[in-house]
Structure 1
């Protein structure tokens, strides 16, 4: 099991865009076990969710990428200077981050674990009838979208590709891919409840993963750290855990 070094490099370039690490730096020259703390700034091609730029933290393979608003930047520089990337999402650390966010009218929204392709995974074929949809062909699903985890219909993360599974004429599941960043497309998967538990989610996820790679983009899969079923789908579809992120938002 391994993640291709070129995919890792592209992922690292994406993290640099996401956390404003490019100023005066080449992403290929960042330290292998570095901590990179930068002021919040939206860069073209960055993955931005809910238009939230106040705080961003990504930890991956011994590196830590952090972006902090000017109001908390001095705190971030001091608090994270000796942080351990591997244990960054420990509850003790999350509690302190959440306390600081609360002072600014914000809170931790969630922590997610993300997966990148295992390049030693074999080629997968469909286990049922499938149909592919390109970007323009996805739009008709917007009015009645039965697969909300597969298709986002977001202006900032546009749906680029989808593959649907059919039982005769009935659409029973779909995997979709959205262009979340310059280098990376995120996969979402949804299967009708009565068709779950038979490997369909993993099959559709693997199929769209293969097609994204063929199009020279990096496919990634994200889920909650406590969602073991979703993590199992990722692993069965030929993914390996690669990084974690902390998301914050304004207090309601």
Structure 2
């Protein structure tokens, strides 16, 4: 697959998630659509959205509830695309959300494999490909980024690194939708900064691509370590999202 093939698959999935058309993300004009549920959306999304802003760089597609349509339309058309995803401009949206008992919750950057630069990466430790049966007992705090306890049935594949038989790093992927699997990575603290994370992320990406599925990687844009790992592993930034949730939801997370 080429980078263009991969990008179009990702945009097609974003259109499913956002309840819009693929061309909406390729336009240079912003688009506001009413969010809706879709059985083919990424499994971890809770649809319909209250407000979700997605950008592949050219514009913003806002997938929103009816009640937020007007204020979100005004907001995304008031500032440049990139400024709508950052402070101080984001505070304008936050103020408008207060009467609805809502706030900005998730702010994430997503990465896709760059087929022009990605190449196999090795590390100094033994690595193994793991199927679901192999990691069924690994739902532990130290592997909580690689595997998801709440969605075990989606965890499809993993790659582990071992030091004399001891698991020291784990990259796992979840089948979040039919065409794209998300990669997460954990390395034990004593073994970090040795290239293990990039090796495992990279190996898992190749395993996913071999199955004609697109691997994708996500992190908060403040998570420099994770973003560096994505790039070192052969990924490049593709899109960003800001998602609004209720204050009660945010309170439960912080508690």
Q: TM-score, normalization: structure 2?
A: 0.87
| Cα distance in 1 between the residues matched to 2:111 and 2:217 | 5
Q: Which has the higher helix share?
A: 2
Unmatched 5+ stretches in structure 2: none
| Cα distance in 1 between the residues matched to 2:93 and 2:152 | 27
Contact 1:160/1:177 (CA < 8 Å) preserved in 2? yes
Residue 105, structure 1, aligned to residue 101, structure 2: yes
Give the match for residue 207 of structure 1: 203
The Cα shift of 1:118 comes to 1.1
Unmatched 5+ stretches in structure 1: none
Alignment of 1:44-59 (within 5 A): 44-47=39-42, 49=44, 51=46, 53-59=49-55
The Cα shift of 1:45 comes to 1.8
The Cα shift of 1:146 comes to 3.0
| 1:169-224 CA distance string (max 9 Å, x none) | 10000001112233221110000000001110011011111111111122111111
Give the match for residue 88 of structure 1: 84
Alignment of 1:162-241 (within 5 A): 162-241=158-237
Give the match for residue 135 of structure 2: 138
Give the match for residue 40 of structure 1: 35
Give the match for residue 13 of structure 1: 12
Q: TM-score, normalization: structure 1?
A: 0.88
Alignment of 1:23-38 (within 5 A): 27-28=22-23, 31-38=26-33
| Cα distance in 2 between the residues matched to 1:154 and 1:45 | 19
The Cα shift of 1:5 comes to 0.3
CA-atom RMSD in angstroms: 2.2
| Cα distance in 1 between the residues matched to 2:118 and 2:42 | 29
Q: Which moved more, 1:41-50 or 1:145-154?
A: 41-50
The Cα shift of 1:83 comes to 4.8
Alignment of 1:120-131 (within 5 A): 120-127=116-123, 128-131=125-128
| 1:71-99 CA distance string (max 9 Å, x none) | 11122233324653233313133112222
Alignment coverage as a number of residue pairs? 245
The Cα shift of 1:122 comes to 4.1
Change in Cα spacing, 1:46 to 1:109, as seen in structure 2 (3 Å) is same
